[in-house]
Amino acid sequence: MYEFTPIGWLKHCIFHPVEGFEDLRWKKQGSMKISAVIVFMLFVAMVADRQLTGFQFNGNYVKIFNVVPLIVQSVVYYITWCIGNWSICTLLEGEGTFRKICIYSAYSLVPYIVCTLISVLLSNFLVQEEAIWLIALYYLGYGWSIVLMIQAMRACHQYSFGKTLISMLLTLAAMLLILFLAILLLSLFQQVYVFFYQIYTEIAYRIRG
Amino acid sequence: MLRIKNSFKKILCAGLAAVAAMSMTLNTYAAEPYKSYIYDAWGDPIPSQNAYRIDKAVTGFDMGLDRLSDPADPLFIGENASARLANAKDMYFDPELKQFWVADTDNNRILRLDEELKLVGAYTGASDGKNFAAPSGIYVKRSVIDNKLYIYIADYENSRVVKASVESNTELELVMEYTRPETDLYTVETFNPSKVVADKAENVYAVCTSVNQGAVQFTKTGKFQGYFGANRVEVTAAVIAQKLWRKFASNEQISGMQRNVPVEYANFDIDDGGFIYTVTEAANATTDAVKKLNPAGYNIWNNSTGDTYVFGDMASEYDATANQTYSTRLTDICISDNGLINVLDFATGRVFQYDRNAELLCIFGTKNSKNDQRGSFSSPNAVEAYNNNIYVLDGAKNDITIYSETTFGSLMHEAIELYDQGRYSEAKPIWENVLARDGGYPMAYMGLGKAALNEGEYKKALDYFETAYAQKSYDRAFKYARNEFIEEYFNVIVTVLAVLIVWLIVLSKLHKRNIFIIKGKLGKLFQKQKEGR
């Protein structure tokens, strides 16, 4: 029935929150490349939101710009989400593969990205009295993406609505766990590195005499 | 030979050193024992110019307090009257007679000094014959009713506030004694007034130790009128937790709990408009640290209405030499005759100067760390302003330090005066001069921005406000700039929009007839989608 280009499929999913992802799944569509681009655009939107928002709306600490937190908040969170969701839903008899989870999650992020970019653009033309437009856009983007995300996960794993919500909450818990372990691992490895580096310097000093 | 050479070298070296030392003494000057700074819009400290420099420190001897023990002198008090101040707790400057009044607390006397801080009068008691005991607050005002000069003294140990008319350099005529109010509303056992002011109607306000409902207010006739301007309880996590616990706890448990009461305020001052300014001497108080109270007791500088008034230092500070952490404890406030507000910080020994709208202007002074230097304080108790000088009374060093304006300071004050009156354009050249001396001074950019805004140079105003990081002012300028832009380019905007709309209509018409202007991938993308449906 549906014959779209990959971009056409993306549009179809975004504008048909109820059936879009089911169609996507049925037709075995969805592109990993486009997902990667979307996640990159999420990062770009976050940077734009921080740096290019109109001065009168920008409450960020502009003296220092550090890109690492923004990468973490976009790319790393996305990857953790996918991993967490895959781990949880494998246990909860979900039908989605890792690839599908990645693609569906990324597709449902598009409204948020688009709304953020539009509000960044608008914030350069509006004054504070008209901030209501930006707030409306913000909630629109958020709400739409959340609805899409729920639908995407539901279609991906063929869950009921309630089970989808539970699995998503569990995914959030899993994300916390993963990030905690990652930080723990990082600090441990750093200590191991420091240990070996100290041994190296010690030996180096001995050899030099 | 070698010896002679060596000694010649020595002489040469010594000579050079002497020349170097001479030139150094010529070039150096006694710098302030602190680095001047100011806070930017982010609350980060940034270096700034000194707006004040230390002029001198005046001790009791310099004031001529030895006259008090000289029997031949008309001001003679007693053979062993101390020629030093002792833990002086308050100082008041009377702008009318241009005289300073000092409550010399531990010496149980009141000193009256002229504008050069020379002794002109001393009082040990009023006409009732009772000696003052640890007078710790003083206020002097000429009555608008009977045109007499009245002095109000918080007589701490005698548990009274004394109102007396000043008869001569040694005599006070007792007019009224305000003692502990005999009413159920006054619940505290003691009545130890530490600070006192009076308003134009001669109502007396006294800050009393361990009274946290506000200042105790008396009418002219000595009737207790109630409390004035209590602080609120600072909302901390502990306070919220306790509030929650109280919901579940039984009455016995509640009675065992600690009560959350507001911190009493430490000091106050009254300005010409009848507004009373209070400071709270609690470490890092963010709620009600400085208040501006109208006669009804309502706080005008109220952060809970959406403003952000900040006073004192932003964060606690660690001093490595003294191995101590200082956090702001505001102890005195003084409104100078030109409307500038000076707030004295007891913990760090700093004076924070604000303009009428509570914008930070400058910070000066420091705490004694190891070495006792001029301009550093051990126990700064009171601050007063007169004739562009700032006077700080130190209760441990027993002296008064005089700060005088620098060129930067006088320029800045001149500009602020015009700025607060809304005469932005007149202030412009002065602000530029200020910027030439301190390129990072935030208020200068605000002033220049407002001047540019008033003169209709919106682009410039935007630049200045962005530098000062003043979002609200920027927003106002932006509104005008946008209107200007739209007016200027209205034709262009409308034309572009019209062309765009027509283009889109034509395109959709063509697409319906399966004619594609855009070739290649994009065109095909539309094509496929159309076929798909």
Residue of B529, B530, B531, B533 to mutate for A, most A C-beta atoms under 10 A: B529
CB contact under 8 A, B529 and A4: yes
Give the pLDDT confidence of A143-171 residue by residue, as tens digits: 999 999 999 999 999 999 999 999 999 99
Domain boundary among B211, B239, B261: B261
Q: Which residue of A has its CA nearest to B472?
A: A56
Which among A8, A59, A61 is the nearest to B529, CB-wise?
A8
- Taking the CA of residue B298 and the nearest CA in chain A, the distance in Å comes to 29
Q: Do A56 and B466 touch (CB under 8 A)?
A: no
- When pLDDT is averaged across residues A12-32 and rounded to a whole number, the result is 89
Task: Map tokens 């140990």 to a residue.
Answer: B157
pLDDT of residue B524: 53
Tell me how close the Cα of A123 comes to any Cα of chain B, in angstroms. 11
Which residue of chain A is at minimal alpha-carbon distance from B478? A127
Which chain A residues touch B475 with a CB distance below 8 Å? 56, 127-128
- B366-367 and B376-377 as β-strands: parallel, antiparallel, unpaired? parallel
Restricting to B residues 31-70, those with a Cβ less than 8 Å away from any Cβ of A are 42, 44
Separation between Cα atoms, residue B397 and residue B88, nearest integer Å: 10
Show which of B244, B261, B278 is a domain's final residue.
Answer: B261
Instruction: Give the best residue of A1, A53, A55 to mutate against chain B (max B CB count within 10 A).
Output: A55
pLDDT value of residue B256: 82
What lies within 8 Å, CB to CB, of A118 at 6+ separation is A137
Is the CB of residue A6 less than 8 Å away from at least one CB of chain B?
A: no
Asked whether the beta carbons of residue A125 and residue B528 sit closer than 8 angstroms, the reply is: no
Question: Considering the domain boundaries, does residue B247 fall inside one?
Answer: yes
Q: Do B466 and A55 touch (CB under 8 A)?
A: yes
Is the Cβ pair B44, A128 closer than 8 Å? no
Does residue B326 belong to any structural domain of this protein?
no
Contact across the interface for A127 and B44, Cβ inside 8 Å: no
Structural tokens at position B270: 């009254």
Task: Please report the sign of the dihedral spanned by the C-alpha atoms of residue B354, residue B208, residue B108, residue B97.
Answer: positive
Give the chain B residue whose CA is nearest to the CA of A7. Answer: B525
Contacts of A63 in chain B (CB under 8 A): 42, 44
- Per the CB < 8 Å rule, is A4 touching B532? yes
Asked, for residue B419, whether it belongs to a domain, the answer is yes
Residue B431 lies in a domain: yes
Mutate to test the interface with A, among B42, B472, B475, B484 (most CBs of A within 10 A): B475
Minimum distance, in Å, between the CA of residue B459 and any CA atom of chain A:
13
In a domain, B489, yes or no: yes
Domain of B452, CATH number, reads: 1.25.40.10
Q: How many domains does chain B have?
A: 2
| pLDDT for B328 | 83
Whether residue B137 is contained in a domain is answered as: no
Nearest chain B residue to A4 by CA distance is B529
Size of interface A-B (CB pairs under 8 A): 38
How much is the pLDDT for B531?
A: 46
Cβ(B468)–Cβ(B442) under 8 Å?
yes
A-chain residues near B462 (CB < 8 A):
55
Q: What is the 3-state secondary structure (H, E, C) of A27-76?
A: CCCCCHHHHHHHHHHHHHHHHHHHHCCCCCCCCCCCCCCCHHHHHHHHHH
A4 touches chain B (CB under 8 A): yes
- Which residues of chain A are within 8 Å of residue B42 when distances are taken between CB atoms? 61, 63
Q: Which of B475, B529, B531 sits opposite A56 (nearest CB)?
A: B475
**pLDDT for A72 beyond 60:** yes
B27: in domain: no
- Would you call B485 an interface residue with chain A, using a CB distance cutoff of 8 Å? no
Distances (CA, A) of A126 to A44, A54, A129, B468: 22, 8, 8, 20
Select the residue of A7, A56, A125 nearest B471 (Cβ to Cβ).
A56
Owning domain of residue B240: 231-261
Closest CA to B54 of B328, B391, B378: B391
Chain B residues whose CB is inside 8 A of the A131 CB are none
> Would an 8 Å CB–CB cutoff place B531 in contact with chain A?
yes
The radius of gyration of chain A from alpha carbons, rounded to an integer in Å, stands at 22
Best of A2, A3, A5 to substitute, by most chain B Cβ atoms within 10 angstroms, is A5
Residues on chain B touching A54 (C-beta within 8 angstroms): 478
| Identity at A47, one-letter amino acid code | V
Give B-chain residues touching A2 at CB under 8 angstroms.
532
Q: Which residue of B has its CA nearest to A55?
A: B471
Name every chain A residue with its beta carbon within 8 A of the beta carbon of B528.
Answer: 3-5, 8
Round to whole Å and give the CA distance between B461 and B456. 9
A4 contacts in B (CB within 8 Å)? 528-529, 532
- For residue B487, being part of any structural domain is answered with yes
From first CA to last CA, the distance across chain B in angstroms is 113
A55 interface with B at CB cutoff 8 Å: yes
Q: What contacts B281, CB < 8 A, 6 or more positions away?
A: B263, B265, B266, B267, B329, B330, B331, B346
CB A23 within 8 A of CB A16: yes
Q: Do B482 and A125 touch (CB under 8 A)?
A: yes
Per residue of chain B (533 residues), give pLDDT as tens: 555 566 666 666 666 666 555 555 444 455 778 888 999 888 888 999 999 998 888 988 889 888 888 888 888 888 888 888 889 999 999 988 899 999 999 999 999 999 899 999 999 888 888 889 999 999 999 988 888 899 999 999 999 999 999 988 888 899 989 999 888 888 888 899 999 999 888 899 999 988 888 889 999 888 898 888 888 877 788 888 888 888 888 888 888 887 777 777 888 888 888 899 988 887 666 677 888 988 888 888 887 777 788 888 887 777 777 677 778 888 999 998 888 999 999 888 899 999 988 899 999 988 876 567 777 888 899 999 998 899 999 988 888 999 999 999 999 999 999 999 999 999 999 999 999 999 999 999 999 999 999 999 999 999 999 999 989 999 999 999 999 999 999 999 999 999 999 999 998 888 888 777 666 555 555 554 444 44
Distance from CA of A11 to the nearest CA of B (A): 11
Give me the residues paired with residue B165 across strands: B150, B173
Quick one: closest CA in A to B473, which residue? Answer: A56
pTM for this model (two decimals): 0.81
